[in-house]
Structure 1
Amino acid sequence: MTPAERVSLWLAQLRASRRAAVTARLTVAVAGAVALGVSAVQPWNQLDLVPLVGVPMLVATVVLPDSLAGVIFLVVVAGGWLIRAPAEVGWGVVLTGIGLLVVHLATAFAAQVPSYALVHRQALQRWWLPGAIGVLMVPVVAIAAALIQGADVAGSLLVTVAALLLATAVIWFAAGQKVGRD
Structure 2
Amino acid sequence: MKEIIVGIVISIITGVISSYLFLMYFLNRKRVKIEISSYISKVTFEGQTNYFFKFINKTNSEIFDIRIEPTFYKQIGGVGGMNIQGKDIVLKDNFISYIPCKKKSDNNSLHAMRVRTIEDIESNWSDTSSYIRLTVIAKHSLSGFTDIFVKDFYSKDVITTRKFKSGDDLDVV
**Range class of TM-score, shorter chain:** under 0.3
Q: Give TM-score scaled by structure 1 length.
A: 0.26
Greater share of strand: 2
